[in-house]
Amino acid sequence: MRRVRYYENGGPEVLRLEETEVPAPGPGELLVRNEAVGVTLPVVRKVRGGGLPLPASLGGEVAGEVVATGPGVTGFKAGDRVTGLCFGDGYADHSVLQAAMASPVPEGATARDAVALVRCGLVARGAYAAARPAAGESVLVTGAASGVGHLAVQLAKELGGGRVVAAVSSAAAEAKAGFLRGLGADHVVTYDELARESADPESWGGRVDIVLDAVGGELLSPAVAALAPGGRLVAYSSGGGTIEAYDLLVGAKAAIGFQMALIARHRPELMEQWRLELWELFAAGRLRPRVHAELPLEDAAKAHELIESRVNLGKVVLRPA
């Protein structure tokens, strides 16, 4: 089979397509023939310098057909279509997936739908829940045109939020604005507009009750400033950054960290509830995962370039043969 690995840290150019043996699933594992692989910003950042021992494989969201099961697996069999998060060779024709991390792909949904909806949707759904929203509260979503962000915009509207503001980088800002308004965003602002000292919140409807932040770094301070008194910022970014305690104190604001892995480990029943909710909304046409580009596995470098350029509108997906 083919897989993509990297032997040194750097940009997309360090990714290497190589041949290797098809792995065998171990206890509690599934061997999946991949039909679609989701590309994520955290994986792209790891290639740049994530501190992993080299050479390193690229994990990711995968979806496809189960071709073999390891000892002790129950609930799945060869021929089932599944999706899940792979921690080993995700960018590959075949991946080994922990059965505990797998979930069925419903009849009528494609592998492309699954990698665009499930993992990104769970993060978006969980981050919104972490803010403990009240009906009608306003929400600002950063990284709003991303795989997670464009679902967060829709979920905020669908789950009872009020005004939704989408914040995007300046790259392809006009295209992003049209894309996000088409998904229900009431206002679209760029990070530069958000960070400007003279920023006028009234131009995007006023300060917000909730910020769902996927960016971190230098955007954290203006994101906190965008909160109304008593507002909550939920950080789920791998981008780091610092918040001044005084900026929280003066407006009685709160900063909350959210990590999907903790929910998976300690609240699996909640994760399953959210997963079913996502598929129900999808089936009803009320949640629309978008794929910006679907590229062959050998074009993994191009997929990473798309993510780094910040021009993508929705998910970037690799398609193994």
Each as own residue / partner, the long-range contacts of residues 233-238 (CB below 8 Å, 24 or more positions apart, any chain) are 234/127, 234/128, 234/130, 234/131, 234/210, 234/258, 236/123, 236/126, 236/127, 236/148, 236/212, 236/260, 237/143, 237/213, 238/41, 238/42, 238/45
Comparing 19-28, 204-213, 232-241, 295-304, which segment has the lowest mean pLDDT? 232-241
**Are 252 and 125 in the same domain?**
yes
**Are 91 and 144 in the same domain?**
no
What is the rounded average pLDDT for all residues in the chain?
Answer: 93
Q: Read off the pLDDT of residues 272-297 as tens digits, 9 standing for 90 and up.
A: 999 999 999 999 999 999 999 999 99
Q: 143 lies in which domain range?
A: 120-261
**Are 129 and 14 in the same domain?**
no
Q: What distance, in Å, lies between the first and last C-alpha atoms of the chain?
A: 10
Comparing 72-86, 236-250, 285-299, which segment has the lowest mean pLDDT? 236-250
**CATH number for the domain including 129?**
3.40.50.720
Instruction: Give the per-residue pLDDT at 112.
Output: 94
**Are 98 and 75 in the same domain?**
yes
Question: With 70 as the cut, is the pLDDT of residue 148 above it?
Answer: yes
**Are 142 and 225 in the same domain?**
yes
Q: Is residue 78 part of a domain?
A: yes
**Are 66 and 184 in the same domain?**
no
**Are 201 and 305 in the same domain?**
no
**Are 94 and 222 in the same domain?**
no
**CATH number for the domain including 46?**
3.90.180.10
Q: Is residue 115 part of a domain?
A: no
Report the candidate in 311, 237, 309 with the shortest Cα–Cα distance to residue 42. Answer: 237
Residue percentage of the chain with pLDDT more than 90: 77
Structural contact between residues 132 and 256, judged by C-beta atoms closer than 8 angstroms:
no
Residue 187: strand, helix, or coil: strand
As a whole number, mean pLDDT of residues 71-93 equals 94
User: Which alpha helices (DSSP H) does the chain contain, by range?
Assistant: 41-49, 111-130, 149-158, 173-181, 191-195, 220-225, 245-249, 260-266, 268-283, 300-309
Comparing 49-58, 89-98, 126-135, 251-260, which segment has the lowest mean pLDDT? 49-58
As a whole number, mean pLDDT of residues 80-99 equals 94
Q: Is residue 285 part of a domain?
A: no
Q: Read off the pLDDT of residues 8-23 as tens digits, 9 standing for 90 and up.
A: 999 999 999 999 999 9
Chain-centroid distance, C-alpha 316: 11
Give how many domains the chain has, as a whole number.
Answer: 2
**How many whole angstroms separate alpha carbon 282 and alpha carbon 251?**
37
Q: Read off the pLDDT of residues 154-203 as tens digits, 9 standing for 90 and up.
A: 999 999 889 999 999 988 889 999 999 999 999 999 999 888 865 678 88
Question: With 60 as the cut, is the pLDDT of residue 301 above it?
Answer: yes
Q: Spell 197-213 as b/e; 16+ CB within 10 A means b.
A: eebebeebeebbbbbbb
With both helix axes pointing from N to C terminus, report the angle between 268-283 and 111-130 in degrees, rounded to the nearest 10. Answer: 120
As a whole number, mean pLDDT of residues 293-319 equals 95
Predicted confidence band of residue 234 (pLDDT cuts 50, 70, 90)? very high
Q: Spell 31-48 as b/e; 16+ CB within 10 A means b.
A: bbbbbbbbbbbebbebbe
Instruction: Give the per-residue pLDDT at 41.
Output: 87
CA torsion through residues 143, 148, 154, 159, sign:
negative
**Are 92 and 129 in the same domain?**
no
Instruction: Give the per-residue pLDDT at 111.
Output: 95
Reported pTM: 0.92
**How many whole angstroms separate alpha carbon 212 and alpha carbon 215?**
9
Chain-centroid distance, C-alpha 137: 23
Other CB atoms closer than 10 Å to residue 80's CB: what's the count? 17
**How many whole angstroms separate alpha carbon 309 and alpha carbon 321?**
26
As a whole number, mean pLDDT of residues 35-56 equals 90
**Are 130 and 190 in the same domain?**
yes
Instruction: Give the per-residue pLDDT at 197.
Output: 60
Report the candidate in 201, 206, 259, 257 with the shortest Cα–Cα distance to residue 232. Answer: 257
